[in-house]
Every structure is written in C-alpha cells, then in structure tokens.
Amino acid sequence: MSDPQQRRILLARQPSGPLSADDFLLDTTPVPDPGPGQTLCRNLLLSIDPAARAWMSGPTYRDQLEVGEVIAGYTLAEVVRSDVDELAPGTIVATQGGWQEYALVDTTTLRPISGRGSLEDRVSVLGVTGLTAYFGLVRVGRPEAGQTVVVSAAAGATGSVVGQLARTLGCRVVGVCGSRAKADFLRDELHFDAVVDHHTDDLRAALAAACPDGVDVYFDNVAGRVLTSVLPLMNTHGVIVSCGSVSAYDGEQPASLRALPGLIVTRRLRMEGFLVHDFEDEWEQGEEFLAAELESGRLTSVHDVYDGLERAPEALIDLLAGGNIGKRLVRIASEEG
C-alpha cells in the first residue's frame, strides 16, 4: 500500500507585476507524519488575503515567500493526529496551514477558536478579518458618533466589516469600491450612507460630494489613488488608519503623495499603521463583541467561496483584480469530525 498523498501549491517563480497562473505549481507529495510536539492538521477552509501578494515581493512583517515554498495562508483545519489530549481528532483549529491539504503544525501555536458561528464566519467576521476591522476602527481610528468615516476596498473582507461597525457607532459611512455590483451591495445590503466607485473620472469630486462635512477617519486598505484623493478632504485632527496598501501589491504605479507631509502638519492629521497581532492579548474580547453583533443581526457576514484547493491561485488573482465581494475563501475539504 502506498503512502497517502496530498496536493499542495508552491510558488513556481518570483512574480513580477500582476500574478498569473504560471506563478503557481500544483504538486503531490506524501502526507507527512507528525514528530514530537507536532500536530497533523487537515485544512478545511483557506483564507485568501491580498497580503499574500506582498509576501512574494519581499520581507514584510514575515520573511519573503521564496520560490519552491508552499504559499502561506491562514486556514481553519481539523486535527488528524496530535500527541496532546486536548487536540482530539476532529477538533477545529485556526492556523497558518498554507495552500495544501495537510499541514504539520507546532502544537504550541494552535489556538482554540470560538465555537460560535459557521466555519465561514469563524475564518472571516469572527476571525482575523473581523478582528482587523474591529481593532483598526475602534482602537486606531477611534471615530465618534456623527463623524464621517470613509473606507476603501469597502466591499472587501475587512472593509465590509469596518463600514458596518462604523454605522453601529453612529457614523456617516462612505465606501469606496470598484464596481456597480459592489456599490449596489454596500448600499442595499449593508446600508452604507454613500458609495463611490473609484473608476469614476473625477474621484476627488465624487468623494467631496459624498462627504459634505469632510472626512474624520479614513480606513485605508489600498493607498494609491484613493488615498491621494481622500487626503484633501481630511478634516483637522483627522485620522488615516493604514491597514493595507493593496494598490501597490500588484503593480499599480503609486499616485503622488507630494502633498501628504504638508497636509499632515497643517491639518494635524494622524496616519497610523497597525497589525491585528498587535492586539493579540485582546482578541478574545474582540471576538465576543463581533459574535454578539453577528447574533444580533447588526453585522452581516459576507463570504465569497471557491471550491477546491486547485482554484486557490485563481481565487487570489481574481481577488487582487477586485473580483470579490466580502471574504474570499477556498474550501479545501469538508468537516469530518
């Protein structure tokens, strides 16, 4: 009898410019055996994140992803075999399982995940995505009721949660997105106060019309042209929450930021970056808050799921091209436990 095999997806070459299918390689390899301190996990749901594109270009908050490595990614997985009693087979864990069917994980890094919500909710609105929105908005942006909050990539995983949370705080919420379908969704389903398509001819004018009282908090997922168009609308003591610069990940020429340092001085702006891991000690409290919002119906969980590991490259390429509405996931396997 041959060893059990698994499929995985490797970085085939150092990508330049927009990703293509040729940057990825699907291969087959034996399912590994866990050594001491290791747990064998079977990946169920894979989170597809724009940051994966940045990891391929150089060191960020993690080492650069090298050619030949399994593409990194956050997964929900079930335990197959572990030497720790608490991790019985079938236990659901959240981990950096990567783009593969099975992962060997350092047992000490496995964190319990909330039993609330569906698996999809747990990897999106109740997972790192929702926590990113929550801590970025509430702890870095700190908007007050009545203020105007603009969020870019508003139909994306993080942006769609940011906008909904800002509305529950009593803010006027303006979303920036890239298609008519997204705009309709944000207005009709998530009740944003206004939506601006960033493909419009005069983005600055469209934003100004949507923000008659200026902008108090800009939750920036994209940098680039949206950032430079929001900047002149920032109110005195406004805050730019720097969460991502996805416009730069996949080759867009960054718009000129020549006015930025001067505006930061004269309008006394604060532009501040964060990673959700900076707030790791408070995740549990954040999860509680988000679960309560979800259960009350004030927060809608929005997913966009592809089926099958082999579709992960397509799922990322399309995500970077702005194809998703809500959290982009790939279903690698179904729960057995």
> Which residues of the chain form contacts with its own copies (CB under 8 A)?
54, 60-61, 220, 223-224, 227, 242-245, 248, 254, 257-258, 260-275, 278
In DSSP notation, 38-78 reads: EEEEEEEEEE--THHHHHTTS-SSSPPPPTTSBPP--EEEE
Give the nearest distance from C-beta 217 to its own copies in angstroms. 14
Q: Which is nearer to its own copies, 178 or 244 (CB)?
A: 244
Residue 70 or residue 264: which is nearer to its own copies going by CB?
264
CB-nearer residue toward its own copies: 35 or 58: 58
As measured in angstroms, the least distance from the Cβ of 84 to its own copies is: 32
Q: Which residue number, 224 or 322, has a Cβ lying nearer to its own copies? A: 224
Least distance (Å) from its own copies to the CB of residue 143? Answer: 17
- Smallest distance, Å, CB 263 to its own copies? 8
Measured distance CA(170)–CA(173) in Å, rounded? 9
What DSSP state is assigned to residue 332? -
* Calpha distance 80→296 (Å, rounded): 34
Distance CA 271, CA 188 (A): 31
Q: How far does CA 314 lie from the centroid of its chain?
A: 17
Minimum distance, C-beta of residue 269 to its own copies, in the bound complex (Å) = 5
Annotate 1-11 with b (16+ C-beta within 10 A) or e (fewer): eeeeebbbbbb
CB-CB contact of 178 with 171 (8 Å): no
Cβ distance to its own copies smaller for residue 186 or 241: 241
Q: Which is nearer to its own copies, 89 or 254 (CB)?
A: 254
Q: Closest approach of Cβ 137 to its own copies, in Å? A: 15
Given the DSSP bridges, would you call strands 172-177 and 148-152 parallel, antiparallel or unpaired? parallel
